[in-house]
Amino acid sequence: MKIVVAGKGGVGKTTVSGTISRALARAGNDVLALDADTNPMLGVSLGVGPEETDLLVAVRQGLETGETEHERTTDGFVERFGRDAPDGVRLVVASRIEQANPGCMCCGVSPEGLLTELDSAGKIIIGDLEAGIGTVMRLQEGHADVVLVVAQPTAKSLNIARRAVELTDDRGGRVIVVANRVRNDEDLAVIREAVGDCEMVVVPEDAAIAQADREGRAAIDVDPDAPGVKVLIELAGRLAGMAVPA
Amino acid sequence: MATAAIAATEPDSRPQRRATGLRLAVVGKGGAGKSVISATLARTLARRGHRVLALDSDTLPGLSISIGAGVTDEFPLNAAAARNEKGRWQLVKGIGAARAVQRFATDAPDGVRLLQIGKTDRRGLDPNRASHQAFYKVIHRLDDVRSLDDWVILGDLPAGPRQAAYDWAPYAQRFLLVVEPTWQSMLTARRIVRITATMRDDREFSLIVNKVTDDDDVDRVQEFLGVPLLGVVPADDAVRASERAGVALLDAAPDSPAARAIAGLAEALDAGNIER
């Protein structure tokens, strides 16, 4: 099964990706967390630590300076540009490389190409996408079973969320809106108005998630019972239980 | 004539700077508050008597909403660029940077002139391609526009670590680095500073710590980044409310703590009161 996470920068894509990945792994799933953001941060939300996250990104960017050798195979890619995160999640940094070798597995492949390439049989792949709608626009059937569109109650975030929902609807994909940092009914109302009757989960404003952001830790490590974290863990459970078309 | 010849053979050479107005570009992680700060700075500087050209360089919604100009579905500069016979994008004959600004910048509140790159819509980048190319070519020639010498030029850049370095603000003499006290925001800021340092050495950074609830956060961010502090903007529900409504902070809550703090930043920039 393949899940991708999209939305405006700063709305909480990485927190959602990281927390769901950890929750799925904790429940016994084989999880590959793919950081496809041009500003990779997924390691922080998985609980790998800020400096460790930057080290992994440096290995990836070493491709541009020639310090990192290229990799031809998918397994090698997961090995070379990845590391283990808590609960057995495998984190792989797949951010775009500016001077990519055309056709090279490790640097010339787009996020959507990788989602096709990586074998998801018996495992769950979670792709934390770049901010905006670039990758969502290029998604086709088979790239993702579910698109999670993360939105906050701001005009800018909802402008992007609405377009991501429309694009996914247009190609007949399944989309779930993750309404994040919701404090009150007014917040929820503006989100509902923007995305229509789309399937939605509501993550309340959560001090534990804010604390995790400030401390560079995984929210699930700060407090797995915090209200916002619990919603994400429940969402992970629902996703794991979903039937995947053969 | 001589200048034009040099520019043609050495595209990277810079003219001697004549500009007397502030030349600023705002950078940082997505969601850090770049657009709100850009918009409020631009309008405050205009209220202080400056002529201000604000540049919305983001193909995603940002500065245009926060400044109170609204987002247009049009592609603002599409008439300004066309492909030549070799398929390369060029500014249309008769439209230089000065003319493009004169013709395609629109009015924003407080007399700010706003030049927008144009937004990506559901059809993708293609419908906005000409506008995108024209915008990029125009901002690369702003230094040559004498009539803008005493203007403030302030660009709100797209989010992410590479924009400053990849020459999205060649006009900028100072990057305003907007950081909130979270690790993701701090790491992004460090990436911006490091990447920029490898590409150019003549630009200065000033740090703005945003969404601050605790003075210790400011020290923590500044220590981590080692960038001189311009100022601090407190966490403020008025910003949240104005962003939810999609209106400018200066219109919704001009006396809010955040608006007042950003006005203070404008004053410091204006007075040249900047820690180096």
Q: pLDDT, tens digit, for every residue of B101-150? A: 999 999 999 999 999 988 877 777 788 888 888 999 999 999 999 999 99
What's the pLDDT band for B2 if we cut at 50, 70, 90? Answer: very low
Q: Is A59 exposed, middle or buried (0-12, 13-18, 19+ CB in 10 A)?
A: middle
Q: Look at residue B5 in the predicted model and tell me its pLDDT.
A: 35
**Most distant CA atoms of chain A, gap in Å:** 52
Cβ–Cβ of B246/A213 closer than 8 Å?
no
Chain A residues in contact with B35 by the CB 8 A cut-off are: 156
- In angstroms, the CA A21 to CA A120 distance is 14
Cβ–Cβ of A156/B120 closer than 8 Å?
no
Cβ(B67)–Cβ(B108) under 8 Å? yes
- For B239, name the nearest residue in chain A, comparing CA atoms only: A154
| Topology annotation, domain B19-270 | Rossmann fold (3.40.50)
Quick: pLDDT tens for A34-73.
999 989 999 999 999 999 999 998 888 888 888 888 888 8
Query: Where in chain A are the domains?
Result: 2-241
Quick: pLDDT tens for B86-113.
989 999 998 999 999 999 999 999 999 9
Query: Where in chain B are the domains?
Result: 19-270
Quick: pLDDT tens for B6-15.
333 344 445 5
Range A2-241 classified under CATH 3.40.50.300: yes
- Please check the confidence at residue B216 and state whether its pLDDT lies above 50: yes
Mean pLDDT to the nearest integer, A228-233: 98
Q: Look at residue B200 in the predicted model and tell me its pLDDT.
A: 65
Cβ–Cβ of B160/A38 closer than 8 Å?
yes
